[in-house]
Amino acid sequence: MFKTKKLFKMAILSSIATLMLAGCGKEESGSKDVLGQIKDEKKIVFGVKHDTRLFGLKNPETGKVEGFDIDLSRELAKEMFGNDVKVEYKEVTSKTRVPLLNNGKVDAVVATMTINEERKKEVDFTDVYFDAGQSLLVKKGSKVQGLEDLKKGTKVLAVKGSTSAINIREKAPETSVLEYENYAEAFTALKAGKGDALTTDDAILYGMVEEDPSFELVGGTFTEEPYGIAVKKGNKELVDALNKALKALKDSGKYDEIKNKWIKQQ
């Protein structure tokens, strides 16, 4: 009898806990789809880079984040919701973008993110919105002119959570790879002579050259990095809506306008 009572009490307590969790805000609720939440709250939060010139860079003078990913996400939101939904941006890095999506802090990641099979296990992607490829950035006049020069004793700088950090170990197995939190830190380290080269997508490296033309890209590209917008797994409606909006921006010429504004070299 005593046991039954105790069990009964436990069952009641656990249902109360479940109900309390279900009643909690956006971050804890896993049940409602993200598109429905965006419409209810009249707000969409995009996860964007703050450290990546041309794609998502925080301008220290204005405090605003600027770049291709920012302009594209703003136009996508306008296309999907008109002016009904407020657009907000939150910083993600290569390492934090998947956790921030999965814990609901951001609704969609538009942040130089390559679509690949590994990541598809964790998140859902839209169609490709930009094609990049991995390359190397070196100081002009460097002895390193391509992958073949990354021999034993050389050091390459990369960013945690990027495909670049994984790929370079496979393409240049003898080099040491030093990983940084973000691209601003990695480029500062390259300028300080902490490595022989920095590796990531060519489009991101062009942004670094724009900042400091004493650096250059060498050796061409050695991977394919198709960028997609990532959303929390299981949100087909949101992926479909983003794809539809992306297509509309391509058809209207808006996509090209944004791309031409930021991407001069490809």
Which residues bind to ligand GLU, rule: CB under 6 A? 94, 112-114, 159, 162-164, 200-201, 204, 225
Is the distance from CB of 45 to CB of 105 less than 8 angstroms? yes
Nearer to ligand GLU, 135 or 235 (CB): 135
At closest approach, how far in Å is the CB of 225 from ligand GLU?
Answer: 4
Handedness of CA 186, 187, 193, 198 (dihedral sign): positive
Nearer to ligand GLU, 80 or 98 (CB): 98
Is the distance from CB of 79 to CB of 85 less than 8 angstroms? no
Nearer to ligand GLU, 37 or 163 (CB): 163
At closest approach, how far in Å is the CB of 97 from ligand GLU?
Answer: 8
At closest approach, how far in Å is the CB of 52 from ligand GLU?
Answer: 7
Nearer to ligand GLU, 79 or 202 (CB): 202
Distance, in Å, from the CA atom of 121 to the CA atom of 196, rounded to the nearest integer, reads 34
Distance, in Å, from the CA atom of 24 to the CA atom of 30, rounded to the nearest integer, reads 10
At closest approach, how far in Å is the CB of 134 from ligand GLU?
Answer: 7
- The secondary structure of 240-261 as a DSSP string is HHHHHHHHHHHHHTHHHHHHHH
At closest approach, how far in Å is the CB of 213 from ligand GLU?
Answer: 22
Nearer to ligand GLU, 162 or 235 (CB): 162
Residue whose beta carbon is closest to ligand GLU: 162
Is the distance from CB of 64 to CB of 58 less than 8 angstroms? yes
Q: Token match 């190397």: residue?
A: 136
Distance, in Å, from the CA atom of 53 to the CA atom of 182, rounded to the nearest integer, reads 12
At closest approach, how far in Å is the CB of 20 from ligand GLU?
Answer: 37
Residues comprising the chain, all counted: 266
Helix H or strand E segment including 206? helix 202-211
Nearer to ligand GLU, 94 or 235 (CB): 94
At closest approach, how far in Å is the CB of 172 from ligand GLU?
Answer: 16
Distance, in Å, from the CA atom of 155 to the CA atom of 150, rounded to the nearest integer, reads 8
Nearer to ligand GLU, 80 or 190 (CB): 190
What angle in degrees, to the nearest 10, is found between the helix axes of 68-81 and 254-262?
160
